[in-house]
Amino acid sequence: MPRESAASPPPNSITAAAEAAGAFAPIMPPPPNLQGKTVRANWNATALAYLGDSVWELYVRRHFFFPPSRLTRYYEGVASQVRAETQESYYELLKAGAFLSEAEAEVLAWGRNARVNVPPRFKASGSHAISYKRATAVECLVGYLYLTDAPRLHQLMLHLGISGDARDGRAAISL
């Protein structure tokens, strides 16, 4: 296996330079070929939330991967960000600001209003069910943007402080 050269620049500085130049393309698996189908007409909000959940987790895992650390620290950081209660905080941040386009705000509302099976841990109180629905809304938006506009998805994640580059000075919401 080849060894890394000490003279080569760290990958994050390459990413930052490319992003600053406007040439950054997020490195993720490409979305599937939708064969000309429109997303909202062919997939429901819960299906998009299902996909968005995995995309969200990949971004969050990437966010906590640097600097190198122990596995338990990675786990604790990720677990804190993939919780419905934390995603609800991101929902509130998106609703309160002017970051989302009108179409994105509609997708967020569509996801919030989706008919979902609320897990038992959320059924104890009605307010927790609302948290779960708001988290589903965020995941729906992430899934939608992943399929329709990956660069905008990356902008969204940067806006929320989940960039994958620990040197950008932003922090994800913590509860």
168 is catalytic: no
Radius of gyration of the chain measured on its C-alpha atoms: 17
Amino acid at 51: L
Amino acid at 128: H
Of 53, 149, 165, 168, the catalytic one is 53
Residue in 62, 58, 47 with CA at minimum distance from that of residue 144: 47
Q: Is the dihedral of CA 25, 31, 33, 35 positive or negative?
A: negative
Rounded Cα distance between 137 and 113, Å, is: 8
Rounded Cα distance between 133 and 71, Å, is: 30
Q: What angle do CA 116, 118, 123 make, to 5 degrees?
A: 150
- Other C-beta atoms closer than 10 Å to the C-beta of 62 total 18
Which active-site residues does the annotation give? 53
